[in-house]
Structure 1
Protein backbone atom coordinates (compact mmCIF):
# COMPACT_ATOMS: atom_id res chain seq x y z
CA UNK A 1 0.00 0.00 0.00
CA UNK A 2 1.35 3.39 -0.99
CA UNK A 3 1.50 5.70 2.00
CA UNK A 4 0.39 9.32 1.44
CA UNK A 5 2.40 12.51 1.26
CA UNK A 6 6.01 13.58 0.87
CA UNK A 7 8.90 11.67 2.52
CA UNK A 8 10.10 13.27 5.75
CA UNK A 9 13.68 13.60 4.52
CA UNK A 10 12.42 15.87 1.74
CA UNK A 11 10.46 18.18 4.05
CA UNK A 12 12.58 20.79 5.79
CA UNK A 13 9.87 21.71 8.28
CA UNK A 14 9.73 18.11 9.50
CA UNK A 15 13.50 17.80 9.85
CA UNK A 16 13.67 21.16 11.64
CA UNK A 17 11.64 19.70 14.51
CA UNK A 18 14.31 17.11 15.33
CA UNK A 19 16.92 14.83 13.83
CA UNK A 20 17.32 12.47 16.79
CA UNK A 21 20.45 12.14 18.89
CA UNK A 22 21.59 8.53 18.29
CA UNK A 23 25.29 8.56 17.50
CA UNK A 24 26.59 5.26 18.89
CA UNK A 25 25.68 1.58 18.58
CA UNK A 26 26.62 -1.24 20.93
CA UNK A 27 26.43 -4.47 18.91
CA UNK A 28 26.79 -7.89 20.52
CA UNK A 29 27.09 -10.90 18.21
CA UNK A 30 26.74 -14.32 19.84
CA UNK A 31 26.33 -18.00 19.06
CA UNK A 32 23.26 -20.09 19.65
CA UNK A 33 22.60 -21.32 23.20
CA UNK A 34 24.99 -24.18 24.07
CA UNK A 35 22.11 -26.25 25.51
CA UNK A 36 19.65 -25.44 22.72
CA UNK A 37 17.43 -23.34 25.00
CA UNK A 38 17.48 -20.26 22.76
CA UNK A 39 13.75 -19.61 23.21
CA UNK A 40 14.08 -19.55 27.00
CA UNK A 41 17.02 -17.18 26.77
CA UNK A 42 15.10 -14.84 24.44
CA UNK A 43 12.16 -14.86 26.85
CA UNK A 44 14.36 -13.75 29.76
CA UNK A 45 16.27 -11.16 27.75
CA UNK A 46 13.18 -9.61 26.14
CA UNK A 47 11.00 -9.53 29.26
CA UNK A 48 13.67 -8.58 31.80
CA UNK A 49 17.16 -7.55 30.73
CA UNK A 50 16.46 -5.57 27.57
CA UNK A 51 13.72 -3.26 28.94
CA UNK A 52 15.86 -2.43 31.99
CA UNK A 53 18.47 -0.86 29.71
CA UNK A 54 15.95 1.81 28.74
CA UNK A 55 16.18 3.37 32.20
CA UNK A 56 19.55 4.72 31.00
CA UNK A 57 19.21 8.23 29.60
CA UNK A 58 21.77 7.46 26.88
CA UNK A 59 19.81 4.48 25.49
CA UNK A 60 17.35 5.52 22.81
CA UNK A 61 16.31 2.21 21.20
CA UNK A 62 17.16 -1.49 21.03
CA UNK A 63 16.87 -4.32 18.54
CA UNK A 64 17.29 -8.08 18.98
CA UNK A 65 17.81 -10.30 15.92
CA UNK A 66 17.90 -14.07 15.40
CA UNK A 67 19.23 -16.21 12.55
CA UNK A 68 17.16 -19.25 11.59
CA UNK A 69 18.38 -22.18 9.46
CA UNK A 70 16.73 -20.50 6.46
CA UNK A 71 18.57 -17.28 7.25
CA UNK A 72 21.84 -19.18 7.46
CA UNK A 73 21.33 -20.71 4.03
CA UNK A 74 20.73 -17.23 2.56
CA UNK A 75 23.97 -15.66 3.84
CA UNK A 76 26.09 -14.11 1.10
CA UNK A 77 29.27 -14.17 3.22
CA UNK A 78 29.82 -16.12 6.44
CA UNK A 79 33.47 -16.67 7.24
CA UNK A 80 35.04 -17.48 10.61
CA UNK A 81 34.54 -16.23 13.28
CA UNK A 82 31.25 -14.68 12.12
CA UNK A 83 29.90 -17.95 10.75
CA UNK A 84 29.05 -18.83 14.37
CA UNK A 85 26.76 -15.79 14.81
CA UNK A 86 23.10 -16.65 15.39
CA UNK A 87 22.08 -13.81 17.73
CA UNK A 88 22.67 -10.07 17.40
CA UNK A 89 21.68 -7.55 20.07
CA UNK A 90 21.98 -3.82 19.37
CA UNK A 91 21.50 -0.87 21.70
CA UNK A 92 21.27 2.59 20.18
CA UNK A 93 23.07 5.17 22.36
CA UNK A 94 23.42 8.91 22.16
CA UNK A 95 27.22 8.71 22.53
CA UNK A 96 30.00 6.47 23.89
CA UNK A 97 29.78 8.24 27.25
CA UNK A 98 26.73 6.11 28.07
CA UNK A 99 28.83 2.96 28.26
CA UNK A 100 29.91 3.54 31.87
CA UNK A 101 26.33 3.47 33.16
CA UNK A 102 25.65 0.50 30.85
CA UNK A 103 28.34 -1.55 32.61
CA UNK A 104 27.23 -0.36 36.07
CA UNK A 105 23.61 -1.35 35.42
CA UNK A 106 24.69 -4.77 34.23
CA UNK A 107 26.57 -5.31 37.50
CA UNK A 108 23.63 -4.06 39.58
CA UNK A 109 21.23 -6.45 37.85
CA UNK A 110 23.67 -9.30 38.32
CA UNK A 111 24.04 -8.50 42.02
CA UNK A 112 20.23 -8.64 42.30
CA UNK A 113 20.19 -12.16 40.82
CA UNK A 114 18.57 -10.93 37.63
CA UNK A 115 21.02 -12.24 35.03
CA UNK A 116 21.31 -15.53 33.19
CA UNK A 117 24.66 -16.66 31.77
CA UNK A 118 25.16 -14.74 28.54
CA UNK A 119 25.19 -16.45 25.17
CA UNK A 120 28.74 -17.33 24.05
CA UNK A 121 30.08 -14.17 22.42
CA UNK A 122 31.57 -13.99 18.94
CA UNK A 123 32.29 -10.27 18.87
CA UNK A 124 31.10 -7.11 20.59
CA UNK A 125 31.63 -3.70 19.11
CA UNK A 126 30.98 -0.03 19.82
CA UNK A 127 30.23 1.78 16.57
CA UNK A 128 29.95 5.45 15.69
CA UNK A 129 27.06 6.17 13.32
CA UNK A 130 28.35 7.64 10.05
CA UNK A 131 25.34 7.54 7.75
CA UNK A 132 21.55 7.18 7.68
CA UNK A 133 19.27 6.83 4.64
CA UNK A 134 15.63 5.84 4.11
CA UNK A 135 13.86 4.72 0.97
CA UNK A 136 11.46 7.44 -0.15
CA UNK A 137 8.62 4.92 -0.46
CA UNK A 138 8.51 4.32 3.32
CA UNK A 139 7.92 8.06 3.98
CA UNK A 140 9.43 8.05 7.48
CA UNK A 141 12.81 9.74 7.78
CA UNK A 142 16.12 7.94 8.19
CA UNK A 143 16.47 9.32 11.74
CA UNK A 144 13.52 7.29 13.04
CA UNK A 145 14.29 3.91 11.45
CA UNK A 146 15.18 2.28 14.81
CA UNK A 147 11.49 2.68 15.78
CA UNK A 148 10.07 1.68 12.38
CA UNK A 149 8.19 -1.68 12.53
CA UNK A 150 10.48 -4.01 10.60
CA UNK A 151 10.02 -7.57 9.37
CA UNK A 152 13.71 -8.32 9.32
CA UNK A 153 17.19 -6.93 9.03
CA UNK A 154 20.22 -7.57 6.85
CA UNK A 155 23.61 -7.06 8.48
CA UNK A 156 26.65 -6.19 6.42
CA UNK A 157 30.09 -6.18 8.08
CA UNK A 158 32.95 -4.96 5.89
CA UNK A 159 36.39 -3.42 5.73
CA UNK A 160 36.63 -0.39 3.46
CA UNK A 161 34.08 1.17 1.17
CA UNK A 162 31.31 3.73 1.48
CA UNK A 163 27.79 3.45 2.85
CA UNK A 164 25.76 1.02 0.69
CA UNK A 165 22.92 3.45 -0.03
CA UNK A 166 22.37 1.82 -3.44
CA UNK A 167 20.77 -1.07 -1.55
CA UNK A 168 17.74 1.18 -0.99
CA UNK A 169 16.79 0.35 -4.58
CA UNK A 170 16.28 -3.30 -3.66
CA UNK A 171 12.66 -4.26 -2.99
CA UNK A 172 12.12 -4.80 0.73
CA UNK A 173 14.90 -2.50 1.96
CA UNK A 174 13.31 0.41 3.82
CA UNK A 175 16.49 2.05 5.06
CA UNK A 176 20.19 1.69 5.82
CA UNK A 177 22.27 2.88 8.76
CA UNK A 178 26.06 2.67 8.57
CA UNK A 179 28.53 2.84 11.46
CA UNK A 180 32.27 2.39 12.06
CA UNK A 181 33.78 0.50 14.99
CA UNK A 182 35.54 2.63 17.59
CA UNK A 183 38.56 1.91 19.80
CA UNK A 184 37.16 1.31 23.29
CA UNK A 185 37.91 -0.40 26.59
CA UNK A 186 38.30 -4.17 26.14
CA UNK A 187 35.62 -4.69 28.83
CA UNK A 188 33.10 -3.34 26.33
CA UNK A 189 34.13 -4.62 22.94
CA UNK A 190 36.48 -6.80 20.94
CA UNK A 191 35.75 -5.56 17.41
CA UNK A 192 38.84 -4.09 15.74
CA UNK A 193 38.57 -0.37 15.10
CA UNK A 194 37.66 0.69 11.57
CA UNK A 195 35.18 -2.03 10.63
CA UNK A 196 32.03 -0.86 8.86
CA UNK A 197 28.67 -2.23 9.92
CA UNK A 198 25.55 -1.53 7.87
CA UNK A 199 22.01 -2.28 9.06
CA UNK A 200 19.42 -2.74 6.34
CA UNK A 201 15.94 -2.28 7.83
CA UNK A 202 13.52 -4.58 5.96
CA UNK A 203 9.76 -4.60 5.44
CA UNK A 204 9.64 -7.97 3.69
CA UNK A 205 10.73 -11.48 4.62
CA UNK A 206 14.48 -11.28 5.31
CA UNK A 207 15.31 -14.50 3.45
CA UNK A 208 13.50 -13.27 0.34
CA UNK A 209 15.22 -9.88 0.53
CA UNK A 210 18.59 -11.60 0.97
CA UNK A 211 18.17 -13.26 -2.43
CA UNK A 212 17.33 -9.90 -4.03
CA UNK A 213 20.32 -8.23 -2.37
CA UNK A 214 22.90 -10.73 -3.59
CA UNK A 215 23.49 -9.27 -7.10
CA UNK A 216 23.98 -5.75 -5.70
CA UNK A 217 26.35 -7.03 -3.02
CA UNK A 218 28.39 -9.07 -5.47
CA UNK A 219 28.75 -5.99 -7.65
CA UNK A 220 29.81 -3.95 -4.60
CA UNK A 221 32.56 -6.42 -3.73
CA UNK A 222 33.75 -7.14 -7.27
CA UNK A 223 36.23 -4.26 -7.62
CA UNK A 224 38.23 -5.29 -4.54
CA UNK A 225 37.80 -1.97 -2.74
CA UNK A 226 35.53 -3.50 -0.10
CA UNK A 227 36.28 -6.68 1.85
CA UNK A 228 33.12 -8.44 3.07
CA UNK A 229 33.36 -10.11 6.48
CA UNK A 230 29.72 -11.04 7.09
CA UNK A 231 26.50 -10.54 5.13
CA UNK A 232 23.37 -12.15 6.53
CA UNK A 233 19.61 -11.80 7.02
CA UNK A 234 17.95 -11.95 10.43
CA UNK A 235 14.48 -12.06 11.95
CA UNK A 236 13.48 -9.79 14.85
CA UNK A 237 12.38 -11.46 18.07
CA UNK A 238 8.59 -11.76 18.24
CA UNK A 239 7.51 -11.05 21.85
CA UNK A 240 5.71 -13.96 23.54
CA UNK A 241 6.41 -16.22 20.55
CA UNK A 242 9.86 -17.11 21.78
CA UNK A 243 10.33 -20.20 19.61
CA UNK A 244 9.02 -18.65 16.41
CA UNK A 245 12.50 -17.68 15.18
CA UNK A 246 15.36 -19.68 16.71
CA UNK A 247 18.63 -21.08 15.31
Structure 2
Protein backbone atom coordinates (compact mmCIF):
# COMPACT_ATOMS: atom_id res chain seq x y z
CA UNK A 1 0.00 0.00 0.00
CA UNK A 2 1.24 3.47 -0.88
CA UNK A 3 0.49 5.77 2.03
CA UNK A 4 -0.52 9.35 1.24
CA UNK A 5 1.19 12.62 2.05
CA UNK A 6 4.59 13.99 2.98
CA UNK A 7 6.88 12.00 5.33
CA UNK A 8 6.94 13.34 8.89
CA UNK A 9 10.70 13.88 8.85
CA UNK A 10 10.20 16.41 6.04
CA UNK A 11 7.50 18.40 7.83
CA UNK A 12 8.83 20.99 10.27
CA UNK A 13 5.42 21.41 11.89
CA UNK A 14 5.27 17.72 12.79
CA UNK A 15 8.81 17.65 14.17
CA UNK A 16 8.16 20.80 16.21
CA UNK A 17 5.49 19.01 18.23
CA UNK A 18 8.04 16.54 19.65
CA UNK A 19 11.05 14.40 18.78
CA UNK A 20 10.51 11.75 21.44
CA UNK A 21 12.33 11.45 24.74
CA UNK A 22 14.19 8.14 24.38
CA UNK A 23 17.93 8.54 24.92
CA UNK A 24 18.99 5.20 26.43
CA UNK A 25 18.55 1.52 25.62
CA UNK A 26 19.16 -1.49 27.83
CA UNK A 27 19.86 -4.55 25.69
CA UNK A 28 20.19 -8.14 26.84
CA UNK A 29 21.42 -10.79 24.40
CA UNK A 30 21.02 -14.43 25.44
CA UNK A 31 21.34 -18.02 24.31
CA UNK A 32 18.48 -20.44 23.83
CA UNK A 33 16.96 -22.13 26.89
CA UNK A 34 19.26 -24.92 28.15
CA UNK A 35 16.34 -27.37 28.29
CA UNK A 36 14.63 -26.27 25.11
CA UNK A 37 11.85 -24.43 26.95
CA UNK A 38 12.17 -21.23 24.95
CA UNK A 39 8.42 -21.00 24.32
CA UNK A 40 7.67 -21.28 28.05
CA UNK A 41 10.20 -18.55 28.80
CA UNK A 42 8.76 -16.26 26.13
CA UNK A 43 5.27 -16.83 27.54
CA UNK A 44 6.33 -15.88 31.08
CA UNK A 45 8.39 -12.89 30.00
CA UNK A 46 5.75 -11.48 27.63
CA UNK A 47 2.73 -11.99 29.90
CA UNK A 48 4.31 -11.20 33.27
CA UNK A 49 7.76 -9.65 33.43
CA UNK A 50 7.81 -7.33 30.42
CA UNK A 51 4.43 -5.59 31.05
CA UNK A 52 5.47 -4.77 34.63
CA UNK A 53 8.38 -2.68 33.37
CA UNK A 54 5.93 -0.21 31.87
CA UNK A 55 4.82 0.95 35.30
CA UNK A 56 8.15 2.81 35.29
CA UNK A 57 7.82 6.32 33.87
CA UNK A 58 11.30 6.11 32.34
CA UNK A 59 10.44 3.02 30.25
CA UNK A 60 8.96 4.27 26.98
CA UNK A 61 8.94 1.07 24.89
CA UNK A 62 10.16 -2.52 24.84
CA UNK A 63 11.01 -5.07 22.17
CA UNK A 64 11.65 -8.82 22.33
CA UNK A 65 13.34 -10.56 19.38
CA UNK A 66 14.03 -14.22 18.73
CA UNK A 67 16.07 -16.11 16.16
CA UNK A 68 15.16 -19.34 14.37
CA UNK A 69 17.31 -21.91 12.54
CA UNK A 70 16.37 -20.16 9.28
CA UNK A 71 17.40 -16.79 10.73
CA UNK A 72 20.71 -18.26 11.82
CA UNK A 73 21.39 -19.59 8.33
CA UNK A 74 20.75 -16.12 6.89
CA UNK A 75 23.29 -14.28 9.07
CA UNK A 76 25.81 -12.24 7.10
CA UNK A 77 28.27 -12.29 9.99
CA UNK A 78 28.57 -13.81 13.43
CA UNK A 79 31.66 -13.40 15.60
CA UNK A 80 32.43 -16.39 17.81
CA UNK A 81 31.33 -14.48 20.90
CA UNK A 82 27.89 -13.68 19.45
CA UNK A 83 27.22 -16.82 17.47
CA UNK A 84 25.07 -18.18 20.30
CA UNK A 85 22.69 -15.20 20.41
CA UNK A 86 19.10 -16.38 19.89
CA UNK A 87 17.19 -13.93 22.10
CA UNK A 88 17.44 -10.13 22.30
CA UNK A 89 15.43 -8.06 24.80
CA UNK A 90 15.45 -4.27 24.57
CA UNK A 91 14.02 -1.61 26.87
CA UNK A 92 13.88 2.00 25.71
CA UNK A 93 14.46 4.57 28.50
CA UNK A 94 14.18 8.32 28.71
CA UNK A 95 17.59 8.45 30.46
CA UNK A 96 20.12 6.36 32.36
CA UNK A 97 18.54 7.43 35.66
CA UNK A 98 15.64 5.12 34.84
CA UNK A 99 17.89 2.10 35.30
CA UNK A 100 17.84 2.45 39.10
CA UNK A 101 14.06 1.88 39.50
CA UNK A 102 14.37 -0.77 36.76
CA UNK A 103 16.69 -2.78 39.00
CA UNK A 104 14.55 -2.08 42.06
CA UNK A 105 11.47 -3.42 40.28
CA UNK A 106 13.35 -6.54 39.24
CA UNK A 107 14.32 -7.15 42.86
CA UNK A 108 10.73 -6.61 44.05
CA UNK A 109 9.36 -9.06 41.48
CA UNK A 110 11.95 -11.59 42.54
CA UNK A 111 10.86 -11.14 46.15
CA UNK A 112 7.31 -11.96 45.07
CA UNK A 113 8.51 -15.18 43.43
CA UNK A 114 7.62 -13.76 40.02
CA UNK A 115 10.89 -14.42 38.19
CA UNK A 116 12.22 -17.36 36.24
CA UNK A 117 15.95 -18.04 35.90
CA UNK A 118 17.38 -15.84 33.16
CA UNK A 119 18.27 -17.29 29.80
CA UNK A 120 22.04 -17.91 29.59
CA UNK A 121 23.51 -14.46 28.91
CA UNK A 122 25.82 -13.57 26.05
CA UNK A 123 26.02 -9.81 26.56
CA UNK A 124 24.04 -7.05 28.22
CA UNK A 125 24.74 -3.39 27.86
CA UNK A 126 23.48 0.17 28.05
CA UNK A 127 23.44 2.17 24.82
CA UNK A 128 22.94 5.83 23.92
CA UNK A 129 20.95 6.77 20.83
CA UNK A 130 23.28 7.97 18.08
CA UNK A 131 21.25 8.16 14.88
CA UNK A 132 17.71 7.54 13.60
CA UNK A 133 16.43 7.34 10.03
CA UNK A 134 13.17 6.33 8.36
CA UNK A 135 12.50 5.45 4.75
CA UNK A 136 10.24 8.14 3.25
CA UNK A 137 7.80 5.51 1.95
CA UNK A 138 6.55 4.60 5.45
CA UNK A 139 5.67 8.28 6.14
CA UNK A 140 6.05 8.05 9.94
CA UNK A 141 9.13 9.73 11.37
CA UNK A 142 12.24 7.98 12.66
CA UNK A 143 11.45 9.15 16.20
CA UNK A 144 8.41 6.85 16.45
CA UNK A 145 9.92 3.67 14.99
CA UNK A 146 9.88 1.81 18.37
CA UNK A 147 6.06 1.91 18.18
CA UNK A 148 5.78 1.19 14.44
CA UNK A 149 4.47 -2.37 13.67
CA UNK A 150 7.51 -3.92 12.01
CA UNK A 151 7.32 -7.24 10.16
CA UNK A 152 10.71 -8.21 11.58
CA UNK A 153 14.14 -6.85 12.45
CA UNK A 154 17.75 -7.02 11.36
CA UNK A 155 20.44 -6.37 13.98
CA UNK A 156 23.90 -5.15 13.14
CA UNK A 157 26.57 -5.11 15.87
CA UNK A 158 29.90 -3.51 14.92
CA UNK A 159 32.92 -1.75 16.34
CA UNK A 160 34.77 1.24 14.86
CA UNK A 161 31.64 2.05 12.89
CA UNK A 162 29.43 4.99 11.96
CA UNK A 163 25.65 4.64 11.67
CA UNK A 164 24.68 2.90 8.39
CA UNK A 165 21.86 5.27 7.44
CA UNK A 166 22.17 4.27 3.77
CA UNK A 167 20.60 0.91 4.59
CA UNK A 168 17.14 2.48 4.48
CA UNK A 169 17.60 2.45 0.71
CA UNK A 170 17.47 -1.37 0.75
CA UNK A 171 14.05 -2.77 -0.07
CA UNK A 172 12.45 -4.05 3.13
CA UNK A 173 14.31 -1.74 5.51
CA UNK A 174 11.71 0.76 6.74
CA UNK A 175 14.02 2.58 9.13
CA UNK A 176 16.82 2.21 11.63
CA UNK A 177 18.12 3.28 15.01
CA UNK A 178 21.86 3.14 15.77
CA UNK A 179 22.96 3.17 19.40
CA UNK A 180 26.43 3.24 20.99
CA UNK A 181 27.54 1.25 24.04
CA UNK A 182 28.28 3.24 27.19
CA UNK A 183 30.72 2.94 30.07
CA UNK A 184 28.40 2.07 32.97
CA UNK A 185 28.34 -0.07 36.11
CA UNK A 186 29.43 -3.67 35.50
CA UNK A 187 26.13 -4.90 36.97
CA UNK A 188 24.41 -3.40 33.94
CA UNK A 189 26.93 -3.98 31.17
CA UNK A 190 29.43 -6.53 29.94
CA UNK A 191 30.33 -4.88 26.63
CA UNK A 192 33.21 -2.45 26.15
CA UNK A 193 32.43 1.12 25.06
CA UNK A 194 32.62 1.69 21.33
CA UNK A 195 30.21 -0.93 20.05
CA UNK A 196 27.57 0.31 17.61
CA UNK A 197 24.30 -1.60 17.55
CA UNK A 198 21.84 -0.88 14.72
CA UNK A 199 18.21 -1.96 14.69
CA UNK A 200 16.78 -2.18 11.19
CA UNK A 201 12.98 -2.06 11.32
CA UNK A 202 11.65 -4.19 8.45
CA UNK A 203 8.47 -4.01 6.40
CA UNK A 204 9.18 -7.28 4.58
CA UNK A 205 10.05 -10.82 5.59
CA UNK A 206 13.29 -10.80 7.63
CA UNK A 207 14.85 -13.67 5.66
CA UNK A 208 14.15 -12.07 2.27
CA UNK A 209 15.40 -8.71 3.51
CA UNK A 210 18.53 -10.34 4.93
CA UNK A 211 19.49 -11.53 1.47
CA UNK A 212 18.98 -8.06 0.01
CA UNK A 213 21.07 -6.54 2.80
CA UNK A 214 24.03 -8.87 2.33
CA UNK A 215 25.62 -7.06 -0.66
CA UNK A 216 25.28 -3.66 1.05
CA UNK A 217 26.90 -5.02 4.21
CA UNK A 218 29.74 -6.65 2.30
CA UNK A 219 30.49 -3.31 0.65
CA UNK A 220 30.37 -1.63 4.05
CA UNK A 221 32.95 -4.01 5.50
CA UNK A 222 35.23 -4.47 2.48
CA UNK A 223 37.91 -1.93 3.42
CA UNK A 224 38.43 -3.51 6.85
CA UNK A 225 37.86 -0.34 8.81
CA UNK A 226 34.71 -1.66 10.49
CA UNK A 227 34.69 -4.84 12.54
CA UNK A 228 31.36 -6.69 12.20
CA UNK A 229 30.39 -8.91 15.12
CA UNK A 230 26.79 -9.83 14.37
CA UNK A 231 24.56 -9.22 11.34
CA UNK A 232 21.37 -11.19 11.70
CA UNK A 233 17.62 -11.23 11.00
CA UNK A 234 15.19 -11.71 13.88
CA UNK A 235 11.47 -12.16 14.43
CA UNK A 236 9.53 -10.14 16.97
CA UNK A 237 7.74 -12.32 19.51
CA UNK A 238 4.03 -12.66 18.71
CA UNK A 239 1.98 -12.86 21.95
CA UNK A 240 0.13 -16.15 22.47
CA UNK A 241 1.97 -17.77 19.57
CA UNK A 242 4.87 -18.91 21.71
CA UNK A 243 6.02 -21.74 19.42
CA UNK A 244 5.74 -19.66 16.24
CA UNK A 245 9.41 -18.60 16.22
CA UNK A 246 11.83 -20.34 18.56
CA UNK A 247 15.50 -21.35 18.24
Other-structure match for 1:217? 217
CA contact (8 A) 2:74 2:210 kept: yes
In 2, distance between residues paired with 1:162 and 1:184? Answer: 21
TM-score (norm 1): 0.99
In 2, distance between residues paired with 1:134 and 1:159? Answer: 23
* SS of residue matched to 2:157: strand
Other-structure match for 1:126? 126
1:95-140: CA deviations, max 9, x gaps?
A: 1111111110000000001000010000001000010000000000
1:116-168: CA deviations, max 9, x gaps?
A: 00100000010000100000000000000000001111000001121101100
In 1, distance between residues paired with 2:205 and 2:41? Answer: 24
Other-structure match for 1:150? 150
* SS of residue matched to 1:88: strand
Structure-to-structure mapping, 1:174-213, within 5 angstroms: 174-213=174-213
In 2, distance between residues paired with 1:131 and 1:94? Answer: 16
Other-structure match for 1:14? 14
In 2, distance between residues paired with 1:151 and 1:51? Answer: 21
Q: Which runs of 5+ in 1 are unaligned?
A: none
Other-structure match for 2:113? 113
Structure-to-structure mapping, 1:1-247, within 5 angstroms: 1-247=1-247
In 2, distance between residues paired with 1:138 and 1:226? Answer: 29
- Deviation, structure 1 residue 16: 0.6
CA contact (8 A) 2:152 2:204 kept: yes
- Deviation, structure 1 residue 169: 0.6
1:29-53: CA deviations, max 9, x gaps?
A: 0000000010000000000000000
TM-score (norm 2): 0.99
* SS of residue matched to 1:91: strand
* SS of residue matched to 1:84: coil
* SS of residue matched to 1:81: helix
Count residues in correspondence.
247
In 2, distance between residues paired with 1:8 and 1:211? Answer: 29
In 1, distance between residues paired with 2:224 and 2:82? Answer: 20
* SS of residue matched to 1:45: helix
Q: Which runs of 5+ in 2 are unaligned?
A: none
Considering only aligned residues, what root-mean-square deviation do their CA atoms show, in Å?
0.5
